[in-house]
Amino acid sequence: MPWWSWVVIWTVLVLGLLGMLAYFGWSLFRKVMAAAREAGALMEKAEILSERSADMRYTEFHSAVFDDPDDLRAQREQAVADRRVARQARRDQRVRRGKILVTADPFRYSSLGKRT
């Protein structure tokens, strides 16, 4: 084997190594830039959350032991009435949806039952 064949072999190996390093470097650069973009988006979301957390401050606990029983009874009755109204609204919504399903035209979707 002549001496110049070793030069060609080593040149190809070194160029392959440089190409591989360039590819991995470019890939790493793209991943770092994507991570930086995501970190920026995360910082924006954290800023929004910190602004909103000021609105959701914890209110100090107030024991109902020393409150007026008539006021507490009225609040309890109001809460029960509100839940009753919400429950009835949910029932009405379910009934409306059920009526729509029951009165649907079955021939409207007859094409779905056909075999192709």
Clarify whether residues 18 and 42 are in a common domain. yes
Dihedral angle sign, alpha carbons of residues 61, 64, 66, 71: positive
How many domains does the structure of the chain reveal? 2
Q: According to the model, what pLDDT value does residue 28 have?
A: 97
Q: According to the model, what pLDDT value does residue 102 have?
A: 77
Q: According to the model, what pLDDT value does residue 116 have?
A: 62
The whole domain housing 85 covers 68-103
pLDDT of 53-81, one tens digit each? 877 777 788 888 888 999 999 999 999 99
Q: According to the model, what pLDDT value does residue 86 have?
A: 97
Q: According to the model, what pLDDT value does residue 57 have?
A: 73
Q: According to the model, what pLDDT value does residue 30 have?
A: 97
* Residue 91 domain-assigned (yes or no): yes
Identify the segments of the chain with pLDDT beneath 70: 104, 106, 109, 116
Residue 30, Cβ density class (10 Å: 0-12 exposed, 13-18 middle, ≥19 buried): exposed
d(CA 89, CA 94): 9
d(CA 64, CA 71): 10
* Residue 114 domain-assigned (yes or no): no
